Structure 1
């Protein structure tokens, strides 16, 4: 199993937002969403235009991480619009305050449009190219008062007013659906979130690079935390060290679960001042985002030799993960991968092992399609990135857990991490 990426410079370069790169020679291609798959799905569903409204889906189509949607997830409005006739070049719609983010797009936009009030004073006639572009987009001649009005304007401009329009309703309220229908009475408005999720299920090579890079940043965080691990160090110390290292590489930690010893049975609780002592285990389950793509990795380390049960159970979890990495194939259902993973853990020495799932897709959301669970009939495809995990929690012991992303290939799979997956002994 050969890791997709282990070169530090390549990962560091990928972690830099595309608009900030300067003369990069890392050789990695720019991020590209799966436009061919999206176009095929739009054709199959007779969709003329698609509107992304969630922070993840706007990023997926444009490379823009919306400030508005991040700050105001329940009331913010920011959209990316693609048409079947021009799938590669979305339109970007946002408030005049945040519309400057169109400059961050990592694809060529067809255009950008603003709504609402915001003042940028034009006094100096000698503008840079970026300043001139922003003036053109955010000026008085290129905005509307309301977000739905701006969206309707763009949909008319691309000729979608008589088409089926798929809207990702993650960031679109019901009253806005009604308002858009009034603006475009001859359009057919349908749900679009599942269409985007189905598109994202299969990653492009550049997306696989991005997930690998995100995982690399998490691994640097784990190494940093372990570098200070010694008797007397606390959970809070370990969390702080991990998150500082991740931030150094442009990452945004979203959950940093690091627990000592038996406390890991309640792994989602906040870190404490419990000090490490010799013989203790340290459980990591860490998730976050680097340049729009998630990492979600788990490991266990011990201070000194691990107790026999901890080592035996961890090795059983690793056996389950390894079997999944080796045997997952295109056309296999989530249920089939679940069953062979759990069976491997049981055969390796934990016969009572029980789980509700042992993994999930990963990408711009931490849980992309598919789910690896006992009732999942959804099929894994070539290019699906599976985040496989085999956690085990027991009162009095804590937790043993290993978790890694791998990309499913036609004949073999590629692990996207390089950090040793055996139990770590400090």
Structure 2
């Protein structure tokens, strides 16, 4: 360690001994770290710069401008080169081109290290005493994974270099960082949504409310079946379970793209849920029983709904864009945050299921496959293009999509709101779902 590390650590030891203890044990020999020089100097770690090398303070200012002007308490996740925290502590003019916002109103600045090895590296080569001495600063030693702390800034390089133990928190922060972009995309598709709503209005009037399914199905146990690759492990189990009389077996609820592989293996679900605006008849079997119930959102193409051979029910997302139509044509509102699995699971809860087992609900690419049955790329995604990862049920890192991580964390939040329901995962190759236990299904 360096003299800078020793002096930085002395300050930390006085104020946050638990943090100092972790830093003392941290090792960064596994990092490929080097100094990068432009107009400013920064550190590159594994090819990722901890800050801009052209104008570090201007970059830090951009991060700070995310905060509301009346903010009095702020949390900083990660630290980059420490510039954001230093600017938050500084009320004076910091260069000739701009002035840091007056932050004398800040009462607390909570710093959350996302990787202690990275933190130790920073302390070895930079002087962070300015903000370490600020009485408003507090360094959090134990991070909460499933909730963010009030008004916050998340430092992008630290998210990329995050310690594995903070992977859940990373997913939440990235999800929140992308929320505005996702909302904008939703607004951009608003005209398409309105057109589809108008095209399906006659079906919303004619077909029954999905809430009516409670008159026919109200069971304590349900199997909710997605199209993840792990579904292939359970065809035989599900086929055997399906042979039992309805009164002796769980309710079978499948997502739309799971119907073809299920039918081909003798598994006939009771209910199929579809919400995707780009779903086509080619995504379904050419023929299947006419007693399978369809629950659809009005975003589903009209020709798919009209073609469906069995009973049809409709429902809405809980998104505010459905509020107006719901006042005119009231329907069951189901939880949905990007994945069709969300409303399928919420439907099971609505139908009084208190014991729900998930099949093919992977949120990742086990064995580098995107889906059960469907060839790689057939449903739009290719495993080889995945740039992100999650932990599976045995603690291995498995490739996934950024959107899948968002769906996973949204589901985990939903599960926390349903303490009366027991959730189970049927495969350890699936992404680990916090709040769901593993149940072996053979």
Q: TM-score, normalised by structure 2?
A: 0.26
Q: Which has the larger radius of gyration?
A: 2
Highest RCO, 1 vs 2 (Cα 8 Å, sep ≥ 6)? 1
